[in-house]
Structure 1
């Protein structure tokens, strides 16, 4: 799924990457082991809490689409919350560690297995060396986050190990056959019997603050944005969530010079359909931004067709 460029409606142009394994020369700490990717699925990426503070150089934050879910998975296995793990999209994945590790899976409700043994989302799981960890496709929702004791120790770029799918910074998306280096084993995992997961709503409600370019749209456009339902388009990714619904008519025609955009910015291309920028959003864009969403986390689990409604910020 592709969200589209920030300043034009064309598909995203991603940075070119060399052929071959995504992580061919990342040996990691000596003796710390690796985790082999047997099945990566369509989009599994290495993510941590991102690389904030570089927007002035054109570098977006990136990082996990649900930072709290990744942080929880890391706490469950004894890692610091900032450790890198895997963000798994829609179809699950299969992994095999070279050493005994603890893993934890958070996010969407899914079946997790260690060898033939069933596990649970939201609990630390002991994995013997060479055992296969399988995360099945989620029953609902869209994404899972997997942490492994020691963290995924690929080389950091600008202080983060996160994969930025738009700019190409960080490691390439994970592919079958990759061998991801692990960091040294941390302390014991958290003594947890059960964690309370977040249910996936059938309707996503997003608080939106109008501006900075809401004056480029008619009053009818704002009425439509707040008064009608939209649906998540199949054309979306970590860059942004495209929505389908009532087109938002412009009051000002013509071109807008590219200007800064932030996480949660709702940009409106020429077709009038809103696009909500997510973690890998660009830092500038040339279409007007009608408003900014306070928290885009609910969109991390929104499958195509999910209903989305906007409302004003809570006071």
Structure 2
């Protein structure tokens, strides 16, 4: 077993911005979570570490932030408590003491020691029982919130894993052991029937043109906002890659590296737009034809490869 006693490289601060629910000291956890099946890609995420781009550190954090916040609320946690983000195939874990758990995000089959339990609502998992989060039936990313939060040590104020920089805890592996924080007293919600957003049938991304849209021909800009693209299979937490008609440049040459923001739509040499997601690089040299506002990116987190994508001009 590999205990999570440290977290990546970089300065470790005394605690995360939101605070772990009562206690949350990773050195003396309230409970331990044993990873039985890590799944295709399961990471620890919270609301990320914004504000460090000038140091070359990206935001990271849950890609589908509304689902992560809702799962935490139903588990009785602060909105920014650390939880697990699964990808496509789910995961299976075994707590060493009873804990309240909520599985949300992409709908899936959830079992405790093989018995079906509720998805999208609080569930009590006894100590020693195996919680199995199944394959996503619709969408791509699931969120598993534990009362008290996942209490791995914070890095730069966040417990989020950043796959590009390597900051934060590594993706889960079979046999890992994670600490859980102490649940908040009286933190359990009164009701548990809430709506969850579904996976998009068509991913519509409102686009603000610029700052480098003048590097492309007028025909290319019309193509961008009228053609049908699809989510490419190489998409990941760094960026959503698209398949579709390439965008022709109106000028030659290359840009010096410049700052990149969340939602930037960068166009590499093949001409097919890439939408930067939470683990994106903080600088880049390919022209950015436009920027998608952050609230529209939650749906991108649930868009499986092949999902149709339309870029539309944002108002204003």
The alignment's TM-score, normalised by the length of structure 1, stands at 0.91
Q: Tell whether the 8 Å contact from 1:266 to 1:277 is kept in structure 2 after alignment.
A: yes
CA-CA distance at 1:39 after TM superposition = 0.3
Q: Tell whether the 8 Å contact from 1:239 to 1:278 is kept in structure 2 after alignment.
A: yes
What is the SS of the residue equivalent to 2:127? coil
- Greater Cα shift, 166-175 or 110-119: 110-119
- 2:270 aligns to what? 271
Q: Tell whether the 8 Å contact from 2:29 to 2:180 is kept in structure 1 after alignment.
A: no
The correspondence of residues 177-216 of structure 1 with structure 2, limited to 5 A, is 177-188=175-186, 189-216=188-215
- Greater Cα shift, 73-82 or 277-286: 73-82
1:34-60 Cα offsets, whole Å, 9 max, x none, are 100000111100000000111111111
Report the Cα distance in structure 2 between the residues aligned to 1:24 and 1:110, rounded to whole angstroms: 31
Q: Tell whether the 8 Å contact from 1:104 to 1:121 is kept in structure 2 after alignment.
A: yes
Does residue 71 (structure 1) correspond to residue 69 (structure 2)? The answer is: yes
Report the Cα distance in structure 2 between the residues aligned to 1:186 and 1:240, rounded to whole angstroms: 35
What is the SS of the residue equivalent to 1:159? coil
The correspondence of residues 77-156 of structure 1 with structure 2, limited to 5 A, is 77-156=75-154
1:67-96 Cα offsets, whole Å, 9 max, x none, are 111111111111111110000000011000
- CA RMSD in angstroms, aligned pairs only: 1.5
Report the Cα distance in structure 1 between the residues aligned to 2:315 and 2:6, rounded to whole angstroms: 49
Report the Cα distance in structure 2 between the residues aligned to 1:214 and 1:193, rounded to whole angstroms: 46
Q: Of 23, 43, 55, which residue of structure 1 is paired with 2:4?
A: 23
Q: Tell whether the 8 Å contact from 1:36 to 1:96 is kept in structure 2 after alignment.
A: yes
Ranges in structure 2 where 5+ consecutive residues have no aligned partner: 8-24
Report the Cα distance in structure 1 between the residues aligned to 2:3 and 2:285, rounded to whole angstroms: 32
CA-CA distance at 1:114 after TM superposition = 1.6
Does residue 282 (structure 1) correspond to residue 281 (structure 2)? The answer is: yes
Report the Cα distance in structure 2 between the residues aligned to 1:187 and 1:163, rounded to whole angstroms: 28
- 2:300 aligns to what? 299
Q: Of 46, 49, 58, which residue of structure 1 is paired with 2:47?
A: 49
Q: Tell whether the 8 Å contact from 2:67 to 2:196 is kept in structure 1 after alignment.
A: no
Q: Of 170, 173, 178, which residue of structure 2 is paired with 1:175?
A: 173
Alignment size in residue pairs: 296
Q: Tell whether the 8 Å contact from 1:76 to 1:190 is kept in structure 2 after alignment.
A: yes
- 1:231 aligns to what? 230
Report the Cα distance in structure 2 between the residues aligned to 1:57 and 1:262, rounded to whole angstroms: 14
CA-CA distance at 1:180 after TM superposition = 0.3
The 1:307/1:22 distance shift into structure 2, 3 A limit, reads farther
What is the SS of the residue equivalent to 2:135? coil
CA-CA distance at 1:109 after TM superposition = 1.1
- 1:309 aligns to what? 310
What is the SS of the residue equivalent to 2:203? strand
Q: Tell whether the 8 Å contact from 2:49 to 2:58 is kept in structure 1 after alignment.
A: yes
- 2:157 aligns to what? 159
Q: Which runs of 4+ in 1 moved over 6 A?
A: none
1:285-304 Cα offsets, whole Å, 9 max, x none, are 00000000112111100111
- Greater Cα shift, 181-190 or 246-255: 181-190
